[in-house]
């Protein structure tokens, strides 16, 4: 039961506290701008000519760009034969339903999994995912970009120059949060994520970490074939 509430103050006091917080928010924004500038200056590493598997069969990594210069991949955690795959990955990738805006930036964003393509595509439909999926089950691509089988999830970014592909950036764990709108929205709420690791005032609602997230069956019920 929730017992804690923010203190009630007059408008002037509230505005002063908000202004102080806003200074910190603006400083964080400027730091993120600086980080993005540094990211644009990162060196890159040339990759081998990998072949993945798509809905229509084997496809070279360079061809997954579909003529674009830039590519983002989300590497979905996978357990072969499991009824439900990682709830965090399933929920995270369900957020991306309209990616056409990337065309204006000469880029694509796709899902890659280490699972067999037939299984991956069936799961994609089951949970109503709208992204394009590829499998690296027949190559070392996943392992080579820090997303080995049974070894978590990751985001990677690549640049194409003709038929040559370069790896430019990688993150994993909480580094992927910057791509999600869900945490940004939840963090605006007075009670925030309500997870036990958070620094929250006394009396704020607290529950086990991850327990508020939609799990894979929830995603399927809301968006996938299970609900149709």
pLDDT of residue 226: 54
Please check the confidence at residue 131 and state whether its pLDDT lies above 90. Answer: yes
Greater pLDDT, 2 or 161: 161
Q: Which residue(s) pair with 75 in the sheet? A: 112, 154
Q: What topology is assigned to 45-177 in CATH?
A: Glutaredoxin (3.40.30)
pLDDT, the chain, mean: 95
pLDDT of residue 227: 44
Please check the confidence at residue 129 and state whether its pLDDT lies above 90. Answer: yes
- What is the share, in percent, of the chain residues with pLDDT greater than 90? 96
Residue 80 to residue 133: CA distance in whole angstroms: 16
Per-residue confidence band for 225, with pLDDT thresholds at 50, 70 and 90: confident
Q: Are 160 and 167 in contact (CB under 8 A)?
A: no
Q: Are 214 and 87 in contact (CB under 8 A)?
A: yes
Query: What are the structural domain ranges in the chain?
Result: 45-177
pLDDT of residue 32: 97
Q: Which residue(s) pair with 207 in the sheet? A: 195
Helix (H, G, I), strand (E, B) or coil at 54: strand
Give the tens place of pLDDT for each residue, 191-215: 999 999 999 999 999 999 999 999 9
Please check the confidence at residue 7 and state whether its pLDDT lies above 60. Answer: yes
Q: What angle do CA 14, 191, 199 make, to 5 degrees?
A: 95
Per-residue confidence band for 3, with pLDDT thresholds at 50, 70 and 90: confident
Mean pLDDT of 83-109: 96
């Amino acid at each position: 039961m929730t017992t804690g509430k923010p203190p009630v103050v007059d408008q002037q006091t509230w505005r002063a506290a908000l202004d102080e917080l806003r200074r910190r928010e603006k400083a964080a924004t400027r730091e993120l701008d600086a980080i993005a500038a540094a990211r644009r200056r990162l060196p890159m590493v040339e990759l081998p000519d990998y072949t993945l598997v798509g809905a229509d069969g084997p496809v070279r990594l360079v061809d997954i760009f579909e003529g674009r210069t830039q590519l983002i991949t989300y590497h979905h955690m996978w357990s072969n034969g499991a009824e439900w795959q990682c709830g965090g990955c399933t929920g995270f990738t369900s957020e991306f339903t309209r990616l056409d805006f990337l065309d204006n930036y000469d880029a694509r964003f796709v899902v890659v999994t280490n699972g067999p393509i037939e299984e991956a595509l069936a799961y994609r439909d089951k949970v109503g995912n709208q992204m394009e999926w590829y499998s690296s089950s027949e190559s070392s691509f996943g392992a080579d970009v820090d997303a080995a089988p049974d070894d978590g999830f990751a985001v990677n970014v690549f640049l194409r120059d003709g038929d040559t592909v370069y790896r430019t950036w990688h993150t994993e764990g909480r580094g992927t949060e910057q791509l999600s709108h869900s945490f940004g929205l939840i963090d605006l709420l007075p009670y925030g994520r309500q997870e036990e690791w958070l620094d929250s005032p006394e009396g704020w609602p607290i529950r086990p970490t991850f327990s508020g997230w939609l799990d894979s069956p929830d995603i399927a019920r809301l968006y996938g074939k299970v609900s149709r």
